[in-house]
Amino acid sequence: MAEDLDRLSYSAAQTCSLVLATAAMSEGRSKSRFATPPFSYFEGRAPSFFVRNIPANLPLVAYLRRGGLAPRKESFMATILLPAKYATTNPNLLGGLNGINAEGAWKLGYNGAGTRVAAVDDGFNYKNAALAKNYSTSLDYDALRRDSDAMAEGDDYHGTMVMGVIGASADSTRSVGVAYGSTLIGVRVGFGSLSSAAQFTDAMTYAWKNSDVVNMSWSYSAWGEKQTYTPVLAQGSATGRGGLGAVWVSSAGNNGGIGDDVNLHGVQSSVYVMTVGSTDRDGAGSSFSTHGVAVHVAAPGNGIVTTVDEGFGTGSGTSFSAPTVSALASLVLDANDHLGWRDVQEIIGMTAHKTSVTTGYLVNKAGDWNGGGMHHSSTFGFGIVDAGAAVRLAETWSDHGTTATMKVASANVAVNKAVGADFASSTTVADNLHLDKAQVTINFSGVDWGDYRISLVSAKGTESVLLDHAYTNSGANASGIFTTEQFWGEDSKGTWTLKLHDYATNDTLTLTSWSLSLYGDRAKADNQYVYTDELGAMAKADASRLVLGDANGGLDTVNFSAVTGKLNFSLADGGTLTGTDGAVTKLTLKAGTVLENLFGGAGDDILVGNAVNNYLRGGYGNDHLRGGAGIDIFIEGQNTGEDWIDDFTAGEKVWLTQGVSLASLNGRTAMLSDGGKIVSGTAYIWKTTDFVRVDDWLDRLPHSDVLIA
């Protein structure tokens, strides 16, 4: 049964520390329904005696209250400094291992401007001064009342809180949104007995048609919606944003404490969705956060300061982790609006990192992330997000990850055998895909899901536990669909194995069949090797990460855009990365490796090409670029600083990107329109013809498009 929002009296709230509440409020639409919200809001599950009997299979939003009865009033909340000062005390915005480094994106000029973020939720008080500037009353929609005004009414306040996390304006004195320059679109729905699948489908359809990013901070009870919303999620991904695809973001849910799993929820386990878990201020997974191998990333969800009615309050739950990532998707699209929805997922996943809690991660058998495989946890996904690293990687991302470019390798296996204590069934995949996600459909003769541990072993040998001891069965449903992100970056070709362990060995269930769907891109010889600030830590556990080898030809890119330290790297010899802590990591190249493109990061870098034609981009900081032999292209963009091109020769070019143009020339010095400076390190005197404005430079990078069988 799905839980409804329940209304508690003040005295009833005193009796428990975990409550489901919508608070006693006046009914009807008004500018200000209550001056001081009666609770601090958290997602969670109420004790059974606070839950009313309502129709099953309806979406829910729940709030968890801890500690005192009233939220922190404005006079007791820490003041949030303006983005212009690049400082905040709100835990979802801080830097460091346990924050999302929002200012790392803001300092580069990315605040979500030009992007639209929709929230499908219970209503929005757009009269709140922190929302009024960014909220679009001309684009919002009420799917419950079927009108064009999504104003909060009655018991609505969750949507207002979610919206503040996304885009509270820059001049707010209490809470600044992660994407404080984005356009906010409220899409109102009802919950519990006021909801229906048709209403939610209508709301989600409106959302993807009118926005770039869609936030969904709600869930059904376990096994509730099944695949009800797969068609609308697929349609939005395929046709939204002119075919680039709407970016869907969902909260993981807050039933982690009772053993829930995101694979028991159709939206949270959808291949089209980024599902977000919650972390606390110490970097641990929040106790309430629902786990699962379909979790994509994590973001802070404890004690988040945000908008409530016309004021502010604090909230905890994955309801606030998800909009943090929705806002990050807005920042990523601000940095590169040509990205497909799969690109956004991959960039955010690749730049996520471990918090101060480093245990509980699986490392897969991929080879293009920090010299090896990606880490993933059922609690954190790929880790806590990093806004600064994500926008820098987005600036240099040349792939086109859309539904149109997505390939699916599939296999169907008929079994019809009784499952004993341990059972395995294998199938061979002939297609060679570079993987994003894998999905398994299992058909049993019964419904005792809680008795089983179900895992999938990839062709590379990585084992991902899809479901372990489901805390509740699925009613009469003997089929289950389970998704994992733990094979991201691996190749698909080879033997895949489904493994079942029965904790209750006296069962007589029959596995009738299972099927496998693998999602990704056709494997190509053109490789992109991405490095982040986690290289040093990952290499301590696996020294092979420090040797970069590429044996399949193609046109390859070594991408350090997400790195904040100082890089000294040659495409001929390798080099070193000096972290912000002073630690030095040395990278070497395997004999015979030929690489073409090299992108630097946020530090003062030294980048050197090799004997072939190279594309070199210093990125941020004051960089030295040296192409070596060949006809080389030097790529300059925003916030260049003072870059030196040490061996420029006639016939080579400097590409000016990101709207930057040539302002003036003075001998060996070129001034750019954003104040950047490029100096010729030799006696070469600049000519205007050496500089070319190239706004589509990512599309103009050469590609071989050679497939790997």
- Do the Cβ atoms of 457 and 497 come closer than 8 Å? yes
661, burial (CB in 10 Å: exposed 0-12, middle 13-18, buried 19+): exposed
Q: Does residue 28 form part of some domain?
A: no
In terms of domains, do 626 and 647 share one?
A: yes
∠ Cα 492 497 498 (to 5°): 120
Q: What is the pLDDT of residue 11?
A: 24
Q: Does residue 515 form part of some domain?
A: yes
Q: What is the pLDDT of residue 445?
A: 83
In terms of domains, do 184 and 284 share one?
A: yes
Q: Which of 474, 502, 522 is the last residue of a domain?
A: 522
In terms of domains, do 151 and 274 share one?
A: yes
In terms of domains, do 413 and 377 share one?
A: no
Range(s) of the domain holding residue 515:
407-522
The helix (run of H) or strand (run of E) holding residue 209 is helix 197-210
Query: Strand order in 479-484's β-sheet?
Result: 407-418, 510-522, 433-444, 479-484
Residue 39 CA to residue 36 CA, distance in Å, equals 9
Q: What is the pLDDT of residue 80?
A: 32
Q: Does residue 175 form part of some domain?
A: yes
Q: What is the pLDDT of residue 477?
A: 66
- Do the Cβ atoms of 490 and 366 come closer than 8 Å? yes
Q: Which of 503, 522, 541 is the last residue of a domain?
A: 522
Q: What is the pLDDT of residue 709?
A: 66
Structure tokens belonging to residue 324: 């943090």
Q: Does residue 702 form part of some domain?
A: no
Q: Which of 376, 396, 416 is the last residue of a domain?
A: 396
- Give the CATH number for residue 470: 2.60.120.260
In terms of domains, do 451 and 491 share one?
A: yes
Q: What is the pLDDT of residue 609?
A: 98
Q: What is the pLDDT of residue 68?
A: 22
In terms of domains, do 248 and 373 share one?
A: yes
- Do the Cβ atoms of 87 and 96 come closer than 8 Å? no
In terms of domains, do 449 and 572 share one?
A: no
108-111 long-range contacts (CB < 8 A, ≥24 apart) are: 108/335, 108/388, 108/391, 108/392, 108/620, 108/638, 108/639, 109/638, 109/639, 110/331, 110/334, 110/335, 110/391, 111/83, 111/170, 111/179, 111/180, 111/181, 111/182, 111/331, 111/334
User: What domain count does the chain have?
Assistant: 3
In terms of domains, do 383 and 465 share one?
A: no
Q: Does residue 449 form part of some domain?
A: yes
Q: Does residue 151 form part of some domain?
A: yes
Q: What is the pLDDT of residue 475?
A: 63
Q: Does residue 69 form part of some domain?
A: no
Residues in the chain with pLDDT values less than 70:
1-89, 91-92, 474-477, 505-507, 709
Question: Strands, E, within 80-191: which ranges?
Answer: 116-121, 141-142, 183-188
Q: Does residue 63 form part of some domain?
A: no
- Give the CATH number for residue 278: 3.40.50.200
User: Residue 353: which of 421, 405, 279, 293 has the closest Cα?
Assistant: 279
Residue 564, amino acid: T
In terms of domains, do 133 and 150 share one?
A: yes
In terms of domains, do 515 and 536 share one?
A: no
Could you give the residue numbers annotated as active site? 121, 158, 319
Using only the alpha carbons of the chain, give its radius of gyration.
26
Q: What is the pLDDT of residue 546?
A: 98
Residue 191 CA to residue 304 CA, distance in Å, equals 23
